[in-house]
Chain A
């Protein structure tokens, strides 16, 4: 993917850029909001990674507002040291698609960037999601594996749906907490792990090939091959 990183802190920028490049992405970097806006408006990117607070008169929120006013729909991930809930809401209202509070693990950033970059295109909403011999029918809300129907609770259904929509990508615990449960707090315990392992039991029990994989220091991934 082709990414634009707008970040004024040189050390953070170097670290993020290097990590994203190692993950196989092309990264352009701008150190202030003005340059960032110029690049974002003149070139094509898959995802913009913006610091929420930027020097040079154009901060992250202004940058996104300007882009959105120009019908530019490139997905935007905000990076911010501001964790207050209304800061987050303001960032998303301005047109941001995701919000990540500093400090963050690089795996978290990478997972979110990739999730944004490979978002399902909105033109043909899928009614069926499939991976290997697992099939999910979004209309009848049923899940089958190898033709055998699985008993799945509503919340597990949403969890599986999210994993399937990002099949082959890492999905972090925080992403699941935010997207599946809409919670934005620290649940203290490894609740997400418990939910995922319960789902994994239902999915993989009795089958040789596991579908849900744990990615060390990052999160989970659903994919066909081990």
Chain B
């Protein structure tokens, strides 16, 4: 429409402007030289009309033609400064004309016009051109949009299907990547990262509920059974007292397990990030090692250190100490007297830190290691060891809170637990 107004519309405006100028010129001539002046001006203009579209007719008050190239006043034209479209005969055919009429004071009147047949034809051509180009452009746009849409749909289909599958409850699905490394792959990658995190959280929730079921129900059941047994027994004061003491000890154990679960949940939810601060990990590790060295010594084990003088990072001192403490505690528990436990730490070549705890104990079978890597709760709590049974779960949660991971390897003999922490 804008194009139409700019081109075809301007043709009309040109015509009207020319007519107005023409008429004003004739009014000037009338003022200067009266009817004769107008007649002369009309003749002059007709003689100069190279395009051959000019139309003039100049009549005296009696309606007789004084000058011009129309044999009579054009029909339907009022001589009152009005604009009109009319038809004129030209070489036997009718042609459309645009006419502007002026009446002078004494009854003389003049009609100034232009044959616009040519312009109309031009305008029709223009209209047709614009229409065609509009149609073509629309077709191209539609085709292009359809192609683009199909391409986008094709690239998004895997992601959409994955999202649908996940909405339907299958959290194991991942968006396949095209290796084109474009925006869609980036979208897919971040979707996958998000899904991994959700999966881990879900696994954590599952794990926590499994653990709550196993690690809390079992001791509660045990405590309850013992108390009930004591109640139903002969009721000797000594026996009752012993049963109550055992009951309190069981409750304390339950409290510890509960505390451990809460702490894991806190770490997994990332709530502990508030306690992140710059720290020297080497100093933290030395303190923990010293703390557990007394235990090693009392069991005739050796605890060796391989730590750099300083190891700067950002993290949660208490959680890191607890995580490394759990690893050391595990290592010491599984290493026979006379064995050796080593605590090593180093800055990784690029970014991050690696903490390694190696022992000379029996280690874990490859299957157990793999299972421990998948599901710490099960693998860990199924082992009949003292403690809350949640040690490695906490280590893993702490590692992930610090943007890292925990790997268990064979140290031949013994177990090698490597705790890698991100750049904080």
Instruction: Give me the interface of A with B, judged by CB distance under 8 Å.
Output: 83-86, 89, 101, 103, 105, 155, 181, 183-189, 191, 194-195, 197-198
Are B322 and A85 in contact, CB atoms less than 8 angstroms apart? Answer: no
Prevailing SS type, chain B contact patch: helix
Instruction: Given A83-B262, A191-B295, A198-B294, decide whether A185 and B321 contact each other with a Cβ distance below 8 A.
Output: yes
Instruction: Looking at the assembled complex, report how far the CB atom of A215 sits from the nearest CB atom of chain B, in whole angstroms.
Output: 15
Docked complex Cα distance between A184 and B319 (Å):
9
Instruction: Given A84-B271, A189-B295, A191-B294, decide whether A103 and B325 contact each other with a Cβ distance below 8 A.
Output: no
Residues of chain B within 8 A (CB-CB) of A155 are 290
Of the candidates B252, B272, B292, B386, the one whose C-beta lies within 8 Å of that of A191 is B292
Residues of chain B within 8 A (CB-CB) of A85 are 266, 272, 274-275, 318
Q: Is B186 an interface residue (CB 8 A)?
A: no
Instruction: Looking at the assembled complex, report how far the CB atom of B309 sits from the nearest CB atom of chain A, in whole angstroms.
Output: 18
Of the candidates B266, B321, B329, the one whose C-beta lies within 8 Å of that of A183 is B321
Instruction: Give me the interface of B with A, judged by CB distance under 8 Å.
Output: 248, 251-252, 255-256, 259-260, 262-263, 266, 271-272, 274-275, 287, 290-292, 294-295, 297-298, 318-319, 321-322, 325-326, 329, 332-333, 386-388, 391
Instruction: Given A191-B291, A191-B292, decide whether A186 and B318 contact each other with a Cβ distance below 8 A.
Output: no
Of the candidates B274, B291, B333, B388, the one whose C-beta lies within 8 Å of that of A186 is B388
Of the candidates A84, A86, A188, the one whose C-beta lies within 8 Å of that of B329 is A188
Of the candidates A83, A188, A195, the one whose C-beta lies within 8 Å of that of B325 is A188
Q: Which partner residue on chain B sits nearest A186 by CB separation?
A: B256
Q: Which partner residue on chain B sits nearest A181 by CB separation?
A: B291
Q: Which of B255, B274, B294, B329 has the most CB of A within 10 A?
A: B294
Residues of chain B within 8 A (CB-CB) of A84 are 262, 266, 271
Docked complex Cα distance between A84 and B332 (Å):
29
Instruction: Given A85-B272, A184-B318, decide whether A105 and B252 contact each other with a Cβ distance below 8 A.
Output: yes
Residues of chain A within 8 A (CB-CB) of B287 are 181
Docked complex Cα distance between A105 and B333 (Å):
27
Residues of chain A within 8 A (CB-CB) of B388 are 186, 188
Of the candidates B292, B322, B332, the one whose C-beta lies within 8 Å of that of A185 is B322
Docked complex Cα distance between A110 and B26 (Å):
119
Q: Which partner residue on chain B sits nearest A185 by CB separation?
A: B322
Docked complex Cα distance between A147 and B223 (Å):
51
Instruction: Looking at the assembled complex, report how far the CB atom of B22 sits from the nearest CB atom of chain A, in whole angstroms.
Output: 90
Docked complex Cα distance between A185 and B318 (Å):
7
Instruction: Looking at the assembled complex, report how far the CB atom of A21 sits from the nearest CB atom of chain B, in whole angstroms.
Output: 21
8 additional contacts (CB under 8 A) given A85-B274, A185-B318: A83-B259, A85-B318, A188-B387, A189-B387, A191-B292, A194-B298, A195-B294, A198-B298
Residues of chain A within 8 A (CB-CB) of B295 are 189, 191, 194
Q: Which partner residue on chain B sits nearest A195 by CB separation?
A: B294
Are B326 and A183 in contact, CB atoms less than 8 angstroms apart? Answer: no
Q: Which partner residue on chain B sits nearest A103 by CB separation?
A: B255
Docked complex Cα distance between A166 and B386 (Å):
32
Are B391 and A188 in contact, CB atoms less than 8 angstroms apart? Answer: yes
Residues of chain A within 8 A (CB-CB) of B387 are 188-189
Are A188 and B251 in contact, CB atoms less than 8 angstroms apart? Answer: no
Q: Could you name 7 residue pairs across A and B whose Cβ atoms are closer than 8 Å?
A: A101-B259, A185-B318, A185-B322, A185-B325, A188-B329, A188-B388, A198-B294
Are A185 and B255 in contact, CB atoms less than 8 angstroms apart? Answer: no
Residues of chain A within 8 A (CB-CB) of B319 are 185
